[in-house]
Amino acid sequence: MIRFILRRLLQAVPTLLAVVTVSFFLMRLAPGGPFDLERPLAPAAMENLRRVYGLDRPLVAQFGSYLAALVRGDLGPSFSFRDQSVLDLIARGLPVSATLGALALVLATALGVGLGIAAALRRGGVVDRLLGVGAALTLSLPSFVVAPLLQIAFGLTLRWLPLGGWNDGAPSHLVLPVVTLALPQVGALARLTRTSLAETLRTQPVRTMRSLGLPPARVTRHALRGALLPVVAYLGPLAASLLTGSVVVETIFGLPGIGRYFVEGALNRDYTLVMGTVLLVAGLVIALNLAADLACAWLDPRLRAAS
Amino acid sequence: MTITAAAPGPARRAVLRFARERTAMAALAVLILIALACLIGQGLTGHDPERAYPDLRQLPAGLTAQPDAEHLRPALERLAFRMRVRLDAVARDGDTLRLTLGSDAGVDRRSLAYLPRSALFGSPDILDERDGGRSLVVAVPIRRLHFLLGTDIQGRDLLTRCLVAGRISLAIGLAASLVALLIGVAYGATAGFIGGAVDAVMMRGVDVLYALPFVFFVILLLVFFRPSLLLMLVAIAAVEWLDMARVVRAVTLSLRERDFVRAARALGLGTPRIILRHIVPNTLGPVAVTATLLVPQVILLESFLSFLGLGVQEPQTSWGVLIAEGARSIEGAPHMLAAPAAFLIATLVALNLIGDGLADALDPRGD
């Protein structure tokens, strides 16, 4: 098990290196720079700024020193937020995005898996029939449509919830963003759970248990353990997509998370901030996928033996 | 099923099964309707997509002929101001207005051209002239304009805009999916067919790409280089081919050891020909399902980028652009969000349902 984890962590190194390299050169080869303001700076001032931030050195040398700093855990200073390091900004933005993502994940999983189980246990029932169209519908609801609709319904018309803002994570400010993030995933999770559980319920061991007279609730519990494997495997990429999907949600609701920092960083040509956020997201994607795989191995002894 | 002399082949059986899926068939009908409307409907709405009616901004959706009583007076007053005349009397008789225009300096008849130019009225007839030209009585026919889905912030017909936008959204959805499909099929079939170390390396590459925060890269690409249709197409295709590659590889692995492939190899066919002639045609089923589910993903990504202002740029428009405009004016004119969002969601739901139906129809266990 330890060896499996170590190998996966080792495999993450080239991936992260690719992320760093591609985003670094993509940004530097593009026209424009962080100090191109509306009113151009005096050439001497520009020269000075570029020297202070090391932008006058050859590109490869800059890349080398960025990597060296990265190994030490230093993401460099932000170009657009004066006197703040990228690590400071991430330390401020990550809790926001993580709170939203985690709550949305819990909500989507609870609803999705619950509906999926209900549909699988009563094939052809109301839940099951609604799921066919309902899943396609939630999958097709873009967050940039859901968010304004929720804002107008609950913020402007009913005045139950605030339109946006963070307000130190007050629960009332969390509801609309979390629902927006979770909604598209409910249908996908429900469908996955239903298909998987329905298949498991047809297998020989489950039929045997039933014929031996085990109570239906016990049978379902046993079947669920196996049936949840694909669901757990899906949760890894899902958690990652909830983080990336937060770009729109954070923009619409005006939340200071990493998605917002990323977009602002990209618009301001804040090289280090963009690199930092992209690296963070890539690292999270890898870590969450690994966590999902480990959870699968814990659920399924056959996978444990294979790894 | 009874075996008859002409038992339908697997492809025909799949088509028949698909035709029995009522939800999927309904979705297909909706999709064809939307596509047809986008292709030819623009000419039938009676409005040019760029034609702005400045007097009829942000009209709500409705069946009433415009200009209605509420908009007539302000529109007339604006016109009178531009014509430098007073509106001494306004009387409405059915679809004709009787205007008495006054001006101390004399009413300039050439200024009457402003009336038809506003597109709300027809050409005026002069009925009477009084006070030596200082007062003019004219009869003006009122045009009857219809804006089924209302108008946007500049007074353009929203239905026409949605149809034109749909053309771009659907075109990008199809084109980017096609590119992603070609890359994915070629990559997956090659990896699966050659197998061994080549397969391991190629699929490891796909795993690495899966772990990249791709949406972030697409945003970077579009922010740093000027957004253009081509760049967006390339960016979307570069993101979306991974699923297809995995599906095709899995199918190819199972096909590789089948007898007809061995026979082709024994006959001395080269690898590229076997892949092209024997592997790819047999992956069509799963490819069709994956591709149908790919198109809505691509359209969604395009709308998402356009919503952020990184995708389709003015004067071109797409559903994402219209939704962004609608989201900005949601307080005053919610129909501006609802109309393009309804088009987008209907299309996505239809495509997803068709994909589900196809998957069921092609599932051999379905018989």
How does pLDDT run across B161-205, given as a tens digit for each residue? 899 999 999 999 999 999 999 999 999 989 988 888 888 888 878
Across B274-299, average pLDDT: 85
Structure confidence at residue B367 (pLDDT): 43
Residue B282 has pLDDT above 70, yes or no: yes
Across A42-62, average pLDDT: 81
Give the distance from residue A258's alpha carbon to the nearest chain B alpha carbon, in angstroms: 11
Structure confidence at residue B1 (pLDDT): 45
Residues within 8 A of B (CB atoms), A 2-41 only: 12, 14-15, 18-19, 22-23, 26-27, 30-32
- 3-state SS assignment for residue B128: strand
Give the type of residue at A254.
Answer: G
Residue A136 near residue A216 (C-beta atoms within 8 A): no
Structure confidence at residue B115 (pLDDT): 78
Q: Of the ranges A183-187, A245-249, B311-315, which one carries the lowest mean pLDDT score? A: A245-249
**Predicted confidence (pLDDT) per residue in A71-116, tens digit:** 888 888 888 777 888 888 888 888 888 889 999 999 999 999 999 8
**Contact flag A26-B220 (C-beta cutoff 8 Å):** yes
Residues in chain A: 307
Pairing of strands B135-141, B65-66: unpaired
3-state helix, strand, coil in chain A (%, to 5): 80, 0, 20
Structure confidence at residue B364 (pLDDT): 60
Residue B2 has pLDDT above 50, yes or no: no
In chain B, the residue whose alpha carbon lies closest to the alpha carbon of A157 is B331
**Predicted confidence (pLDDT) per residue in B85-100, tens digit:** 887 778 777 778 887 8
**Chain mean pLDDT for chain A:** 83
**Predicted confidence (pLDDT) per residue in A10-36, tens digit:** 878 887 888 888 888 888 877 777 777
Residue A295 has pLDDT above 60, yes or no: yes
In chain A, the residue whose alpha carbon lies closest to the alpha carbon of B352 is A136
How many other β-carbons are positioned within 10 Å of the β-carbon of residue A219?
Answer: 19
* Backbone angles phi and psi of B321, in degrees to 5: -65, -45
- For tokens 């004219």, what's the residue? B138
* Backbone angles phi and psi of A109, in degrees to 5: -65, -45
A278/A98 Cα distance (integer angstroms): 15
* Backbone angles phi and psi of B173, in degrees to 5: -55, -45
Residue B170 near residue B226 (C-beta atoms within 8 A): no
Give the type of residue at B220.
Answer: L
A116/A113 Cα distance (integer angstroms): 5
Residue B279 near residue B189 (C-beta atoms within 8 A): yes
Q: Which positions in chain B touch A183 (Cβ < 8 Å)?
A: none
B132/B321: higher pLDDT: B321
Residue A305 has pLDDT above 80, yes or no: no
In chain B, the residue whose alpha carbon lies closest to the alpha carbon of A155 is B331
Across B254-283, average pLDDT: 84
Residue B120 near residue B145 (C-beta atoms within 8 A): yes
Q: What is the ipTM of this complex?
A: 0.79
Structure confidence at residue A46 (pLDDT): 79
Across B104-130, average pLDDT: 79
Structure confidence at residue B29 (pLDDT): 92
Residue B4 has pLDDT above 70, yes or no: no
Residue A96 near residue A255 (C-beta atoms within 8 A): yes
User: Which of A223-232, B47-56, B213-222, B289-298: highest mean pLDDT?
Assistant: B289-298
Distance of CA A176 to CAs A151, A181, B123, Å?
Answer: 8, 9, 53
Q: Which positions in chain B touch A252 (Cβ < 8 Å)?
A: 327
B194/B188 Cα distance (integer angstroms): 10
Per cent of chain A over pLDDT 90 is 6
**Contact flag B224-A31 (C-beta cutoff 8 Å):** yes
Q: Which positions in chain A touch B303 (Cβ < 8 Å)?
A: 142, 144
Chain B residues near any Cβ of chain A (below 8 Å): 23, 208, 210-213, 215-217, 219-221, 223-225, 296, 300, 303-304, 307-308, 320, 323-324, 326-327, 330-331, 334, 337, 341, 344-345, 348-349, 352-353, 356
User: Which of A111-120, A208-217, B125-134: highest mean pLDDT?
Assistant: A111-120
| Category of B94 on φ-ψ map: left (φ > 0), alpha (ψ -120 to 50) or beta | left
**Predicted confidence (pLDDT) per residue in B214-229, tens digit:** 777 777 777 777 778 8
Structure confidence at residue A306 (pLDDT): 56
Per cent of chain A over pLDDT 70 is 96
Distance of CA A5 to CAs A138, A287, B206, B213, B241, Å?
Answer: 35, 10, 20, 22, 28
Across B265-289, average pLDDT: 84
Residue B73 has pLDDT above 50, yes or no: yes
**Chain mean pLDDT for chain B:** 82
